[in-house]
A = this chain, B = another copy of it.
């Protein structure tokens, strides 16, 4: 068995049976081996950033890693941004990076680069596979490392792949036992929650599951603590039947108000709250001055820790759950607000929402809070161009669930070729493409960072960099070019019709929602 075959078989044996691939010459033996391991599903993408974003979306929903197949350093480079998001999400991902044959490296051929340096910036685990006899074991180790909630990168030289004999299929590496929450930390948090002093219970990681949120809600009900979820959860369960939770706002001023007055901040699966960016004269550390921070659990095991804590401080308390309550379908010309109401009115039961709507998503959390139960995936690392790829992966992970990609225009253009994979794989992804003809968030940020005061003369040249007009993007035409049917809508009624049709038909659709920018 050659190395590539042993590698793929070992991935499958360890439970990795989807690979988002954009191969090149150094990966040809991997490609050739695919027909010998039919359990491995290879999904072709047209850009590596789609592969890595898809692996992230897949992992969030499947709760196990997919593999990516990328071509040397530049291929990995193209995948960096979405690996960054995966790293911040704690998503398990196994990258397989094809490299030159070991003996070819010394010639510094044109595609040679320092793969390890790039991999190290986004991976928790990096290994260069050196022997065909070991590549199966390397794959199993990569999967085990990924399952700890990180990006694992295996560099695979071409000759390690192609060596015809000596490949060995490896057994899965047993998962490291998950550390239980530290009883002292749980006890200290319980004491804080019982103290009667104002407490914020900040949840993240796997505590934004329905179970985790129920435990958090019980604690709040029993102790008077305020529950907040981290600003950008990896996967937030919400909607009817789930305990509702507010998220820490992206905007520093609002976040400061949400946290104001707390004497204790109890972190369960979340990191201590900080500003997404620094802004002159505004705090970076959002913990109110003088408040005590109690860290109870890391990203994984957070829901279990919350259960323990709830059993201590809220025995017999029942969690509230959101009632089914949808907004009325609005009418007339679309605004960000009315577009949110249309989504809230029509979001299907069991939907997976991939949220990269940025400023056009203002209003969505409120208008979907009472929609049928669904999952909400967010841009954990802030690297835009994640939505359409992540929707790809979520749809592959959950073929029986509708995926709604709520997608801003500027961000969409980073990885727009994901639409082609939606079409090729027949994925049930409805892309709601908010076209506001601007990098509207940057118009706001220009103010927030105090840069607007520095703009000189008429500011025309600065404004031109925040503007997507001239020419205006036509996403229906772009989508058609990649095999995804689309329609442009300008009224709430048209939007509702288009979403109903998209939901009724299998396969991908794009609804281009023309909205005025939230920040003019």
Contact = CB atoms under 8 A, between A and B. Distances in A.
Interface string A252-295: 00000000000000000001001111101000110000000000
A58 interface: no
Interface stretch (A182-190, A326-334, A459-467): A459-467
A47 B24 CA distance: 22
Given A25-B442, A77-B84, 19 more contacts: A31-B446, A32-B455, A35-B457, A35-B459, A35-B460, A36-B454, A74-B383, A77-B77, A77-B80, A80-B80, A88-B110, A101-B277, A110-B382, A111-B276, A111-B383, A114-B120, A158-B278, A474-B481, A478-B481
Q: How many copies does the complex hold?
A: 2
Interface stretch (A205-213, A217-225, A408-416): A408-416
A78 interface: yes
A424 B471 contact: yes
A483 B75 CA distance: 28
A515 to B, nearest CB: 18
A449 interface: yes
A353 B286 CA distance: 53
Contact of A118 (B21, B103, B121): B121
Contacts of A399: none
6 contacts: A34-B465, A46-B410, A107-B275, A110-B381, A424-B470, A477-B480
A516 to B, nearest CB: 20
A479 B75 CA distance: 24
A202 to B, nearest CB: 15
A81 interface: yes
Contact of A107 (B35, B285, B459): B285
A21 B465 contact: yes
Nearest 9 A/B pairs, CB to CB: A471-B483, A77-B80, A74-B383, A478-B481, A477-B481, A101-B278, A104-B278, A74-B81, A32-B451
A7 interface: no
Contact of A476 (B2, B49, B107, B481): B481
A280 B455 contact: no
Nearest to A285: B107
Interface in A45-66: 46-47, 49
Kindly name the residue among A29, A31, A285 whose own CB sees the greatest number of chain B CB atoms within 10 A: A31
A133 B108 CA distance: 40
A424 to B, nearest CB: 6
Nearest to A2: B454
A155 to B, nearest CB: 13
A25 B445 contact: yes
A509 interface: no
Given A42-B464, A118-B117, A449-B28, A80 B88 contact: no
A431 interface: no
A404 interface: no
B31 A465 contact: yes
A22 to B, nearest CB: 9
B74 A446 contact: no
A459 B42 CA distance: 13
Contacts of A121: 73, 77, 113-114, 117-118
A423 interface: yes
Interface string A469-492: 011111111111111000000000
A170 B21 CA distance: 47
